[in-house]
Structure 1
Amino acid sequence: MCAVVAGFWGINYLSRSDKKTDKKGSPPVPGEQPKPPTITSKLTIEQEIVALKKEELEFAEQLVREFPNSDDALVLIGNVYRKQGNSAEAEKYWKKALALNPARPDVYNGMGWAAFEKGEYEKAIVFWRKALEINPQTPAIHNSIAQTLILLGRYDEVIKEAEEELKISPTSGLSYFLLGQGYLKLKEYDKAKEYYETAIKLEPDYMNAYYGLFRVCSRLKLKDEAGKYLARFKELKAEDAKVLMDRNKAFDDVVVIRKMLAETYSDAEYIYYNKGNLQQAEKLLQRAVSLEPNNTEYLMKLGFLFQSSNRLQDALKMYLKAAEIEPDNMVSRLNAGVVSMQLKQYGNSEKIFREVIKSAPKLSNGYRELAHLYLMTGTNLSEALKLAKTAVALEEAAENYFILSWAYDRNGDVANAGSTLKRAVELEPDNLQYRRMYEQIQKRILRGDS
């Protein structure tokens, strides 16, 4: 195949997944920007809790001053007030956010829990149903409604809500537990037993599910099973009691406050990133990482930010650190492989992709990216074709078909390259790059090019 065609595929593939985000043309964000401070370790635990809460609230207030018309900023400060126990202030800001953007299921979810905590169960359900009107696929909402309906004694509705949740989250142990609770209250003990058993299959240490099983087995006169489940319930309860006895409440409170503050900075980073202020976005993520050094979500976000800024070495460090903390997280490893490829560290990239394939043989990404590497470097082209075929066999995704089309082309099979690229266009009809490339390869086929 001619060098021109190789360049054609290579350049366009880079524009698909490796294109650098150009933020230079973005206008500067006006006003004073909140500067996340660092709390000194010389404080007592109690002093640190007060200081962290003060830091979080002051930051949220400054954020709203800087972005008074941002529903994201208003939601964030509402969340801060809610976390700090001031639901009245939280609702005030949430309502302002809804006035700017009514399509916020997360706000209605928060308002639902605020109502629930005040014992306003019917009001809580109304808020949660509004969240589902906006996004019927919002996870956990049906379970929240089901838990509230149990308190209201409406057991038929409990079952309906838990079943709806399972359509969204099929492996929700809580949903199966709630089904058990509903059927127990309706005295349908065989069904209750079945759902409790499913709950503990999903979550083997689900203490309350064991107690539910003890109750239904007692009703069903299954004495031996009832005894077994009661014994396991008591074991888990004793373990919980020991944890509570051994815990340092003040230290645990600091850990929770640090976690909540880190979440606030991570949420605010999104606002600055969308405004093109990558410098401030980075500061906030760095502060989040300082509060929770082993939180891979923050490390990944920081890695993406560095990658967007073309700070590839820094991005690679973040992805590798995330992969070290969570070895089973294939996304961080794949990202590390992609960045290594961008850095032209092809040997390292190949090693990472092969490790991903070995660790997750049913995941298409590893095969696709290794094929991509070989196609970019013009090496192992026959193996690239095999890898791309495997990726498509595992997952019929447009990007997998794109790579397979490229692999066919690099191996001299333009006809299959065209038909395969057509499939990518069918899967993603709005992808202008795929459409343009498909038109060009069709012209080559008509000309009889190879």
Structure 2
Amino acid sequence: MNNNINTLLNEISYKINGDEFDKTLDILDNILKKVPKNYRANLYKGQICVEKKEFQEAIKYFEEAKKVDIKTFKAYNLLGISYHAIGEYDKAINCFNEILKITPNSCSAYNLLGITYYKKNDYKKAIEYFNKSIEINPKYDKAYNNLALFYYRNKNYDIAIKFFEHSKSLDERIFKAYDMLGMSYYKIGNYDKAIECLIKFLQHNQNSYKIANTLGAIYSYLKDYDKAIKYFTKAIEINPKYASAYNNLASIYFNKKNFDKAALYFDKAKRFSENYFSDYYKLGFSYYSKGYYYEAIECFKKVIEKNENSYKAYNLIGLCYLSNSEYEKSIKYFEKAIEINGEYYEVYNNLAIAYFNLKNYAKTIENFNLTNLEIIKDKLDIYNKLAISYFYIKDYNKSIEYYNKIMSKLNYKTPFYVYNNLAILYYLKKDYDLILKTYHKYLDNYKSENNFASYNIFLLSYNLLTKRLIKYNDFLILFEKCLIKSIENNSYNNDINNISSIYEIMEYDIETLKLILENKINFKNSKELLKDKLNEKQLKAIEPIINKIKLFSFDSNIKNISDYGNNTICVEYYFSKLNSVSIIKNSDNNSDNNKEIYGKQAKFITEDIKYDSLISIFSDNKKAYDFNILFLIKENIEKFGGLKVKAIYLPNNCDEFDIKLIKCILNNDDIKLYK
């Protein structure tokens, strides 16, 4: 029987380092049932338990083998490692010392002693044994790595790098501590070397989501956000429940002000690690920026639970309620923020806005005056709200002061409502000359392409005229300036490039041919057109200026002239130059809208109103033509060189004799004739 057991044990000794543990264990268990004190069976069973990391079981079998034959027992390293693994460090030390009795120059035993003394927090002896291991074998890389780890854990990163690098230099092919070497470089701020080491580690350890996350953190610190996102995403791909990577990814999107994605990833970080999630401030801010105010409020309340003096969280809760038009609630939280930190000036601005929305203008002014304007980006909004607030408490001088501040900041970009409200304030102060100066200033400064309020100014100034608060001559001067600026402004916006020619349908007679021959234009009566737009008194008031303008109607493309009768022709003109001219598209103007134009009754403007250019009254309601051209007469318009006759289109039934006659009369080869 002993021969059979020895044969089996001999076979097992060859397979002991293989992977077929279960089959081997079955054989050993059968042997130990028959011969419980078999030395080799206990020894081999202990070895397999170590391989399976069943250290408590390993100790049992090693100790049994030692009892059976203490003189032969040599597995003190594995027994010591097992005792070390279960935290019985003194017994582990005894085992490693037994190795040294057998092999006094065992660098491995000294290294294991160093590891164990480190665990016992006896760092002096740990270093002593690591150094002894290196003294015996200067190429023993494990001792260098353990010394490096000791210095790394004690935050002495430069010395740690020295030992890691030496270990790597011994044999780079077997060096595996790129993660710790990379972290050491990271800790001293050598990010290029850190990245190099950590990428090498990740190449050989592709499932290391923590290292991928660390690489993302380094790139994030270096503001290389694309690469940071790449590695944080890789960490999440490896471990889809890794909260730290979600949190880091969220922080990048937060810094990039992509609050949609920030909220998404912060939310995932919280879901996978709610007990440890701490970035409620950023998650709340992300929700706030997306308009999820109640979700944001819950996050900021979490911040306050951890720090009851977080005045910024109170302020942000106030902003959530303010944004949701819950002004009374917002005031409560703004005041709490001020109670904690009275020098947090931003909150005074928010408190003022809440009071402004509640139309408590005295409190609005009080809190705006406590705001440090140097830290406020949108000073113009404050100036505007102060101007309105002072208006409503009837401090007109202070209201004027703040509107003038807006004008000095915006210059030619100042919107019309500022000029309007200044005019209202001057009206209340009965300073009518300053009203006119304000309107003139608007016209002089205006350079925008949209919302030109010249029609509004005409209506407002006409109101002043009817009340005999301004002189008629001053009214005419202002109206003419309104008209000139309207034409000039509209001429900049003319889409002339898309209109190469313009067309007019005319009756074919001697007078028409005379017009064409003299290169004159068939003007319409402006006053007739305006009768549909203005009342009789308004029209009479502006008549001296209206007499200075001419109106020409045309189509942008040729029409079927046969529809107009046999005595009809179509004249094609082309532009050469058009100065002080306004092109009006009739289809774009609806006279019914004019009833809604602000200006028939002056008021202090605090909401959006309809502005319009004076040009709009010259649109043709009947729309007989696509376009009107408005000419301001500064010279003899009949000889105006801006429009030239290019061609004449005749009906199909036109007599050949008439064609020859027209050619003869015109005597101009530049003018083409078509049927």
Shared fold, TM over 0.5: no
Which is richer in helix?
A: 1
Q: Indicate the TM-score class for this superposition, using the shorter chain for normalisation.
A: 0.3 to 0.5
Using CA pairs below 8 Å that are at least 6 residues apart, which structure has the higher relative contact order?
1
Rg (Cα) greater in structure: 2
Q: TM-score, normalised by structure 1?
A: 0.41
